[in-house]
Amino acid sequence: MRKSPGRRSAPVDYALFGAVMALLFIGVVMVYSASAIYAEKNLGRPLYFFQRQFIWAVVSLFAMGAMSRFDYNRLREFVMPLYVITCATLIAALFFPAIGGAKRWIRLGPIGLQPAEFAKLTSILFLAAYLDKKHSKLQGFVQGIAVPLAVTGLLLVLIGLEPDLGTPALMFSTAVLLLFVAGARWQSIAGALALAVPVIAEELWRKPYRRARLLSFLSPFENMRGAGYQLSQSILAVGSGGWTGKGFGASKLKLMYLPTPHTDFIFPVVCEELGLIGAAIVLALFTTILVRGVRIARAAPNLFGTLLASGICFSIVLQAFFNIAMSIGLLPTKGIPLPFFSYGGSSLLSTMLGVGILLNISRQSRAEALK
């Protein structure tokens, strides 16, 4: 493998690295707190989810380290192979048995992989490479909007068939932001957004459970025993934490009030146990990723690096925003994990791979500055 310019001499972005490590540590600890009682009752093994998340955290750390030393410019060579593999795995997932009513996982013995989590990185990589290559033609509708959204749209359709609406919404939002950063015409971007609104509205209304979630979002406490149960319990947990929280392990939300509090609804457990101060620290760490990610994007040695860093940064922070907003009643309930926190190896691994790429772009930027 070709040696990345200055990869050994350039310093690590310690602010980004520190924020990620802090979120990873807090996240793994909170998975233990949120899952121990559930795992004891259902599996007879209180450490089951914690142990698996810890193993994925170690694997993800090594993956992040490897990506931080792999020249991000060489990722262009793998765009199409990764895109084809991603499509193939998304299709393959549709033929595996459904879990919780959705076909999102590929089972490989004891390991379950969720292709949609890696599709987020594939989409960002494709868009960064394409928009860099076609930068001079982005003012045209076909090459500036139609082609990139069509290619990305295939991934969104395959994920939507699982069914899943939250991940496609996140990926589409990231794609629109990348088009804006790349310099696509704002009129074309506005047109794409206008076309997306009826599609999302139709998807929300077409499925009865999505309609119920939308109505419960509008009035969560009117049907606390039905569709509004999850959201109302989540809001109550967030409010009950006070300034300093009830203390680690003292959450009542995880006492079977929610079926799986260690997954998408882990943030209310954080708020209940660590309080407003703990929640503010978590938000500050995600803000650090946003600030450092934007700075890395602006200082990147080339447009490809700028777009790649922007896409990864936007994806992580938007996902965190969607999850937190969902859990406190600012957005309708959707199955979107909280990065670094929600239980799930695929989500954690894909997020840490993205962080590794960010660190590599930062290394190369700093190496250029040292010349």
Residue 207 falls inside a structural domain? yes
Q: How many domains is the chain built from?
A: 1
Residue 331 falls inside a structural domain? yes
Q: What average pLDDT does range 1-27 have in this prediction?
A: 76
Quick one: pLDDT band at residue 121, thresholds 50, 70, 90?
very high
Mean pLDDT of the chain: 87
Residue 125 falls inside a structural domain? yes
48-87 CB burial, b ≥16 within 10 A, e <16: bbbebbeebbeebbebbeebbebbbbebeeebeebbeebb
Residue 24 domain boundaries: 14-370
Q: What local confidence, expressed as pLDDT, does residue 18 receive?
A: 96
Q: What average pLDDT does range 344-356 have in this prediction?
A: 96
Q: What average pLDDT does range 6-12 have in this prediction?
A: 58
Residue 2 falls inside a structural domain? no
310-319 CB burial, b ≥16 within 10 A, e <16: bbbbbbbbbb
- Overall pTM > 0.85: yes
Name the DSSP letter for residue 77: G
- Interatomic CA distance for residues 1 and 137, integer angstroms: 33
More confident call, 235 vs 78:
78
Q: What local confidence, expressed as pLDDT, does residue 333 receive?
A: 78
Q: Are 340 and 20 in contact (CB under 8 A)?
A: yes
Residue 262 falls inside a structural domain? yes
What are the tens digits of pLDDT across the range 220-255?
Answer: 666 666 666 777 888 888 888 889 988 888 787 777
Q: What local confidence, expressed as pLDDT, does residue 9 receive?
A: 52
Residue 168 falls inside a structural domain? yes
More confident call, 208 vs 355:
355
Residue 3 falls inside a structural domain? no
3-state secondary structure of 362: helix
Residue 8 falls inside a structural domain? no
- Interatomic CA distance for residues 121 and 283, integer angstroms: 23
Quick one: pLDDT band at residue 370, thresholds 50, 70, 90?
low
Quick one: pLDDT band at residue 8, thresholds 50, 70, 90?
very low
- Interatomic CA distance for residues 186 and 189, integer angstroms: 5
Q: What local confidence, expressed as pLDDT, does residue 3 receive?
A: 45
